[in-house]
A and B are shown apart, each in its own frame.
Chain A
């Protein structure tokens, strides 16, 4: 595979917040499933508590994920969902990555 200068430029412009595998997994789960709580994400992604906390904090800081403390019945839950900005960033990231990989 030969890399053009344009390819290299596009690779360097890829969103590093999403590009990290654990954060990408979190974004894909939330994009596909809708909102989910901390425990579900932990199980689904195989994360440890501290690991997930750290990645969610980073995504929240970037404005990609909204975290809300809520109740389902009497059960307190920490529910995460993608923000509009997060959905747009994931869409942009997908396009960029597919574009780079498809080019000769």
Chain B
């Protein structure tokens, strides 16, 4: 967007290659998939599944910047350059401050952890915690998550396109068509969200690499 400040563009630049979505999607797939396999092999209390997914997201919280730094140093920085990764935005407080300094302040901040990672976990947590004995609950949770992700991020540095949110919302149809046992539904929701995120990230990465070839590739062509 052209009306963004340099700081906002720097924050959006963090998501230009789709790698944050791929890493988050794969985290959900690995930990949700692991819990699903365990649940199929040896049925156990769903709270353990919830703990496994929570452990995955906690791990993601602590190491995603390091993993992304490693991946970006091989993919993004050689193509389009390096800018300081965005700081995670602080929660808004009610104190109003008066800034008399006309100089621009840092706007290189991201809401990704709160508005995407935490929001996803919160909705998935509810699908683990409040199981309803009817087939509409998992589709309903996926629609809720799709709407929440779209609305919460629509003006952020990493908006989700409406049509992609619609894909997530519509993916709940799987639960209405296939006969999925209730104890597996939260984990399968987790896998659907993981695939949905990783697929979006992958498409973004392919598009990014296609439009920004490396300098050596440009010279060869």
Residues of B close to A35: CB separation below 8 A: 83-84
Q: How far is it, in angstroms, between the C-alpha of A96 and the C-alpha of B125 when the chains are bound?
A: 53
Q: How large is the interface on A (under 10, 10 to 19, 20 to 34, 35 or more residues)?
A: 20 to 34
Given contacts A28-B6, A33-B7, A73-B70, contact A41 B81 (CB under 8 A): yes
Contact check: which of A28, A36, A42 meets B84 at CB < 8 Å? A36
Q: Considering only CB atoms, which chain B residue lies closest to A98 in the complex?
A: B102
The reply to whether the CB of B77 lies closer than 8 angstroms to some CB of chain A is: yes
Interface segment among B31-39, B42-50, B103-111, B189-197: the answer is B103-111
Q: Is the CB of B83 within 8 A of A37?
A: yes
Given contacts A40-B82, A40-B83, contact A32 B77 (CB under 8 A): no
Q: Is the CB of B6 within 8 A of A29?
A: yes
Say how far A34's CB is from chain B's closest CB, in angstroms. Answer: 3
The reply to whether the CB of B113 lies closer than 8 angstroms to some CB of chain A is: no
Q: How far is it, in angstroms, between the C-alpha of A46 and the C-alpha of B59 when the chains are bound?
A: 39
Residues of B close to A41: CB separation below 8 A: 81
Q: Is the CB of A72 within 8 A of B73?
A: yes
The reply to whether the CB of A79 lies closer than 8 angstroms to some CB of chain B is: yes
Q: How far is it, in angstroms, between the C-alpha of A96 and the C-alpha of B55 when the chains are bound?
A: 53
The reply to whether the CB of B10 lies closer than 8 angstroms to some CB of chain A is: yes
Contact check: which of A32, A38, A39, A74 meets B104 at CB < 8 Å? A32
Residues of B close to A4: CB separation below 8 A: none
The reply to whether the CB of A94 lies closer than 8 angstroms to some CB of chain B is: yes
Q: Is the CB of B73 within 8 A of A33?
A: no
The reply to whether the CB of B80 lies closer than 8 angstroms to some CB of chain A is: yes
- A1-46 contacts to B (CB < 8 Å): 28-29, 31-44
Q: How far is it, in angstroms, between the C-alpha of A8 and the C-alpha of B77 when the chains are bound?
A: 45
Say how far B189's CB is from chain A's closest CB, in angstroms. Answer: 35
Residues of A close to B80: CB separation below 8 A: 39-40, 43
The reply to whether the CB of A100 lies closer than 8 angstroms to some CB of chain B is: no
Interface residues of B (CB under 8 A from A): 5-7, 9-10, 13, 69-70, 72-74, 77-78, 80-84, 101-108
Interface residues of A (CB under 8 A from B): 28-29, 31-44, 72-75, 77, 79, 87, 90-91, 94-95, 98
